[in-house]
Chains A and B, each alone.
Chain A
């Protein structure tokens, strides 16, 4: 059973970012990537899954159950977490408070503490700065908070929207390594990116979105050498 199963989805956000009849599957335990340039409809797809922009038509299923049009907090309750585009810190909250918000629906304080420690082990820099206001941190550090926050809820499926946007090459490389690590722990990853080469290098399967339609799909290794992918971007 697919982690996420999207059928004939039509949705629009901001008018420029429109989806026409998109169907795709996110396989459990794998990294599935969605590639496309700006305005291709990537953000709209993420927003539709999260219930932030209800779709006009089509269905979204999570582990076989229909979640189309559910309010966001109920989608999150089904085991999805998101690392949003642009990291989206709560700027006037501390690192710890930001991380705790990732576990907002977790009521077990011991479990929250355990996950906090896990995030601090993954990112020792955050442990040093746990009381610092997130808005005063560098882009790379905010990316760590954003990834850590996405893991705090203990998700089955993680949506990651353009994690490399605005980061230095060193952080980008580090980010991709961490995303692989997340997959290796058994978490299903749906990775939305513009960075073709590095994304395909860590993904298992990929889709290419252009002008709101899927123009190519396949095993990541095959897509990497596919002319259509390059056409979609540069053509």
Chain B
């Protein structure tokens, strides 16, 4: 295998890994503060991407065509909108079910995800067909031998990693982060310290959902296509990544995201004649990993939860 192909696989893996990590941290944050799995996460991500796409249509319609201004507008609308949706779901669907068995929350969010997906398919104009997402990033590329390094990939990876870094700072260095970790470790004692529990839960869901929307926009900018089903596979991969890493652990989720992307890339490289099987390969390895380490690679006991 030549250098160019290996570099291509590597660049692709890093980009996918960043994207998956951004989805996985949401699962881990939600599980941290509420001990729930929110299965609608992927579909909320899809909805957020469609909000961004709609914002782009709106900007085009009013004649704002500068791609950088469009990009800022798309990101602002998508992240803020999705953060609000995430907080609303927490407030009206997940917190009220707090005393119910966890299975109920799982079922409710599974159904909510389906409802969101079907609603976009049915009610978004021509929603059942894929949409061409605009290429807002420069399409320049640098040739290194037989490998073409795309400028948009570099920008996406750097901004994605910066977002993960910022999230890490928020969790470990700010007052809100201290409150989120306190709630994750002992809800009742956190309340006794004077922490507004409901507010912290809503903030956590807003942050996790906004971060996932960023992954959705990344996905759109990279593939230049979005569709109503995109959240299903991204959500499943993000969930797997969070589980592999040891649910409840922020670093585990990031590690899990990159590990899953690595598996996909290895699958695609090993099976060049049938790269469509890369997901089968990746999920098969995840199943094997779970059989080997049922509590994830970084078990919660020996590591910081959230």
Contact = CB atoms under 8 A, between A and B. Distances in A.
Interface stretch (A96-104, A195-203, A215-223): A96-104
A92 B185 contact: yes
A90 B186 contact: yes
A38 B95 CA distance: 32
A104 B175 CA distance: 8
A104 B194 CA distance: 6
A196 B262 CA distance: 63
Interface stretch (A2-10, A55-63, A72-80, A116-124): A72-80
A26 interface: no
Contacts of B35: none
Given A92-B304, A97-B178, A73 B194 contact: yes
A47 B182 CA distance: 19
B193 A101 contact: yes
Nearest to A106: B194
B194 A90 contact: no
Contacts of B293: none
Contacts of B104: none
A100 B173 CA distance: 12
B189 A72 contact: no
A235 B186 CA distance: 37
Contacts of A91: 185
A69 interface: no
A88 B186 contact: yes
B181 A76 contact: no
A141 B283 CA distance: 46
Contacts of B305: 92
A90 to B, nearest CB: 5
Contacts of B193: 76, 101-102, 104, 149, 153
B35 to A, nearest CB: 16
Contacts of B178: 97, 100-101, 104
A189 B304 CA distance: 34
B191 A73 contact: yes
Interface residues of A, number: 22
A165 interface: no
A82 interface: yes
Contacts of A97: 178
A76 B192 contact: yes
A130 to B, nearest CB: 15
Contacts of B192: 50, 52, 72, 76, 82, 84, 88
A105 interface: yes
B191 A104 contact: no
Interface string A137-162: 00000000000010001000000000
A93 interface: yes
Contacts of B196: 71, 73
Contacts of A52: 188, 191-192
Contacts of A73: 191, 194-197
Given A73-B194, A73-B195, A102-B193, A93 B188 contact: no
B179 interface: yes
A234 B181 CA distance: 43
B179 A104 contact: yes
A52 B197 CA distance: 11
A50 B175 CA distance: 22
Interface of B: 175, 178-179, 181-182, 185-186, 188-197, 304-305
Interface of A: 50, 52, 71-73, 76-77, 82, 84, 88, 90-93, 97, 100-102, 104-105, 149, 153
18 contacts: A52-B188, A72-B191, A73-B191, A76-B193, A77-B194, A84-B192, A88-B186, A88-B188, A88-B192, A92-B181, A93-B182, A97-B178, A101-B178, A101-B190, A101-B195, A102-B193, A104-B194, A104-B195
